Amino acid sequence: MTTEATLPTTSASPTARQVLTRARGVALALVVLLAAAVAIALVRSTTKHGSLDPRSADPSGSRAVAELLADHGVHTRVVTTLDAARNAAGPDTTLLVAVPDLLTPGQQRQLHTAAADSGGRTLLVAGSTSVERLAPGVTADPVTSADSLLEPGCALPAARRAGTADTGGIRYTTTRPGADECYPSDGLATLVRVPDATGRGDTVVLGAPDILVNDHLDEQGNASLALQLLGSRPHLVWYLPSLSDTSATAPDDRKSLVDLLPSGWLWGTLQLFVAAALAALWRARRLGPLVPEKLPVAIRASETAEGRARLYRKANARDRAAAALRSTTRTRLAPLVGVPTNLAHTPETLLPALSARLLGDGQQDLHTLLFGPPPSDDAALITLADRLDALEREVRRP
């Protein structure tokens, strides 16, 4: 037999140059993304401080109110850790907590204990979930105020002197006796002052930070209200909660990723999944009878074969490709050796006829070649195709 002859083969695996060419677009996109990230980092690095920071001159910063307080003899100190805030609290100190909701429950309890023992003033800015721990007896309403400018509506001297101010935001209710509920919106206060048990200190809960930021300080009575709330003591400790604070890693404060996500995101994700499922059902292919359609142009058989081969290669369907090659070869060989076409795929009929035509008894090799297992890789598939071609040429030889 001559079916074992070695014939030149061509590799179907992509070359290194082809891989680099295909990956060029992805690499370019990664370079653009990296350059954009570096540019954004450089732009942000020029801003040293962020929102509600008394060192920041940005529209959302609070440097203007710190400067006004300094002109009135009030010293402002910025702290970013809970320990520094607790140590700085005292009877002659106002402790401002920017965004207290960023504190963990453990931090909130520790801060409340320190503030209650200090005898000073504690000002909570835009706190909702944290007010029940930092200001017991005060509860945040889930519906925020629709109005920004509000009238005092209370007997608190600071509010009456300031007049209209931008306090609209989170609304509060309180059950504490002697509390001042100011700047009401739809019957609920947006500024609450709760005195402590000794009467020396108090806690002020502010529904919005607008009266403290540079962009709104010169509007209405914002500056007056801010100076009176923050300037009642000679020292002001401005506490900006930080992610680098080690007190936030207490075991009882650890939360999972799901716990950190607001409920709105969870419901929104569920709605997206439902919408995606409905869209999939809407656009899914309907199963039905096949409809024949005439091709608008004639396509050469070689192009069809090449396209089908590329699909096989993309799907790594070497078994299907090998089965197609063997089936076609058996169909063409059967008439050449006198076997009916309907028996071309029966080894007991085709293999003896082939052995007799080739004047050999290598039926085992022929059986592996024509009816064997699928090749294990692309190189084996190419070798199989070459051997099948060689066998067909040998049978056709006169």
Which residue in this structure is represented by tokens 């106002």?
94
Selection from 239, 216, 241 nearest residue 64 by Cα: 216
Q: Architecture of 63-246 per CATH?
A: 3-Layer(aba) Sandwich (3.40)
Q: What pairing do the DSSP bridges indicate for beta strands 121-125 and 202-206?
A: parallel
Per domain, the residue ranges of the chain are 63-246, 303-396
Give the integer Cα–Cα distance in Å for 149 and 147: 6
- Write the CB contacts of 5 (distance below 8 Å, at least 6 apart in sequence): 390
pLDDT score, position 267? 82
Beta strand residue intervals within the chain, DSSP E: 75-79, 93-98, 121-125, 138-140, 149-150, 165-166, 172-174, 180-185, 188-195, 202-206, 235-239
Tokens (6 digits) for 74: 């009030």
pLDDT of residue 251: 56
Of 150, 152, 114, which is closest to residue 133 (Cα–Cα)? 114
This prediction has a pTM of: 0.55
How is residue 285 annotated by DSSP? Answer: P
Can you tell me the distance from the alpha carbon of 19 to that of 395, in angstroms, rounded to the nearest whole number? 40
Q: What's the Cα-to-Cα distance from 121 to each of 53, 227, 241, rounded to whole Å?
A: 19, 14, 18
How far apart CA 211 and CA 214 sit, in angstroms, is 8
Predicted pLDDT of residue 254: 59
What DSSP line would sit under 216-243, residue for residue?
A: TTTSTTHHHHHHHHHSSSSEEEEE---T
Q: How far is CA 26 from the centre of its chain?
A: 21
Spatial distance between the Cα atoms of 340 and 7, rounded to a whole number of angstroms: 30
Mean pLDDT by 10 residues, the chain (398 residues): 44 67 80 85 60 92 95 94 93 94 92 91 93 94 88 95 94 93 94 89 94 94 96 95 73 61 77 90 74 78 84 88 91 89 88 82 74 90 91 86
100 DSSP assignment:
G
What is the Cα–Cα distance from 37 to 31, expressed in whole angstroms? 10
Tokens of 309: 């081969």
**What's the confidence (pLDDT) of residue 9?**
46
